[in-house]
Structure 1
Amino acid sequence: MVTEFALEGDFIELHQLLKLCGVVDSGGAGKALVSRGAVRVDGAVELRRTCKIRAGQVVETGGVRIAVMAERRPHHP
């Protein structure tokens, strides 16, 4: 399953991203998942629960792939 996440701001912490995308039920569960080495960021295992995820990065865990995109802002002429 591939999910796109529109990032608001410069970054989101990894455990919060997992929560907001519905991979886990809480931030605490997200931290536990990361601590177990079950999450990859850009293909590498990430063990830092509060790792800052930025636009352009890809997070993967348990068959879920989250593509983090820059927030789409309306174009003002």
Structure 2
Amino acid sequence: MEIRIRDEFIKLGQALKLADLVSDGVEAKYVINDGLVKVNGEVDTRRGRKVYGGDVISYNGQDVKVLSGNE
């Protein structure tokens, strides 16, 4: 799965919502805080983590590649 962002980066919680991996910001907060989300293969518990084009977010058995507007 891929998501495309318009800006230079997107915050991790927003990216999870954009990819429809969570239903809202509250759910994103819980799954991130619980250590269930990986960015580029490493667990990250910061909901505000900046995710850039080329990064891969993994959650619940799904991988999502982030594409910047110019990719």
TM bin, normalised by shorter chain, reads over 0.9
- Aligned mates of 1:28, 1:52 — CA distance in 2: 18
The answer for unaligned runs of 5 or more in structure 1 is none
1:46 aligns with 2:44: yes
> What TM-score results when the alignment is normalised by the length of structure 1?
0.87
Cα-to-partner distance string for 1:28-61 (whole Å, 9 max, x where unaligned):
1111110000000000000101100000100001
1:33 alignment counterpart: 31
Check conservation: 1:15, 1:28, Cα contact below 8 A: no
Q: How many corresponding residue pairs?
A: 71
Please say if 1:61 is aligned against 2:46: no
> Which contiguous aligned blocks of 4+ residues in structure 1 show a shift greater than 3 angstroms?
none
- Kindly indicate which of the two structures has a greater share of residues assigned to strand: 2
For the pair shown, the structure with the greater C-alpha radius of gyration is: 1
Given that 1:14 and 1:51 are in contact with CA atoms closer than 8 Å, whether structure 2 keeps it comes out as yes
Same amino acid, percent of matched pairs: 32
The runs of 5 or more residues in structure 2 that have no matched partner are: none
